Amino acid sequence: MNNPQPKQRIKVTRPGRGYERGKTYTVVRVDSSDNTLIATDSNGKEGSWVKWEHCIPGGGEVNWSWLKGQLSTDALELLSAFEGLEALRLKDEIRDHILLQLPGLKDRILRSQIQLEEEFGAIDDSSPGNCPNEEELDIPL
């Protein structure tokens, strides 16, 4: 194993020094001067310094299949409304459905755009963060 990082999950290939072979640990300290690390088990119990060469990356990937087996039905239902796992983004069709349920959305957007133009001058449509017009929303209003 090369260059382990704190919070990385590992497995040791040689038992001893407070570690069991095949068990997954979390790296808490790394000493690159002698290529050793200290890791904790799932209960927070620390082992002694162990050489990197006696460790391999561990824990497998966190993917949708794994996640489905870990979460409640309610949590899975909520997450299924999003795209991605790290930077969640509401699916376009759900966003549109929510927006269409807001009473007077079109009028409020247009009123806000006029008020901002009066307060701050013309709004540059190309810069991020400015109020969109009807066409930019890409939803029927």
Higher pLDDT, 35 or 22: 35
In a domain, 135, yes or no: no
Domain count of the fold of the chain: 3
What does the alpha-carbon distance between residue 129 and residue 134 come to, in Å, rounded to a whole number? Answer: 15
Q: What is the pLDDT of residue 121?
A: 78
Lowest mean pLDDT among 32-36, 62-66, 69-73, 99-103: 62-66
| pLDDT, average across residues 101-130 | 76
> Which tokens hold the place of 100?
């269409």
Q: What is the pLDDT of residue 127?
A: 47
Q: What is the pLDDT of residue 12?
A: 92
In a domain, 131, yes or no: no
Domain that holds residue 81: 64-90
In a domain, 84, yes or no: yes
Lowest mean pLDDT among 61-65, 67-71, 106-110: 61-65
Same domain, 85 and 98: no
pLDDT category, 53, cuts 50, 70, 90?
very high
In a domain, 138, yes or no: no
In a domain, 86, yes or no: yes
Q: What are the DSSP calls for 72-133, one per residue?
A: -HHHHHHHTTEE-SSS-EE-HHHHHHHHHTSTTHHHHHHHHHHHHHHHH----TTSTTSPP-
Condensed to tens digits (0 to 9), the pLDDT of residues 74-98 reads 888 888 888 776 667 788 888 888 8
Res. 132: pLDDT tops 70: no
Condensed to tens digits (0 to 9), the pLDDT of residues 8-18 reads 989 999 888 89
Higher pLDDT, 130 or 77: 77
In a domain, 47, yes or no: yes
Q: Say which CATH number the domain at 34 has.
A: 2.30.30
Tell me how far CA of residue 56 lies from CA of 12, 41, 60, in angstroms. 6, 15, 11
**How many C-beta atoms lie closer than 10 Å to residue 54's C-beta?**
19
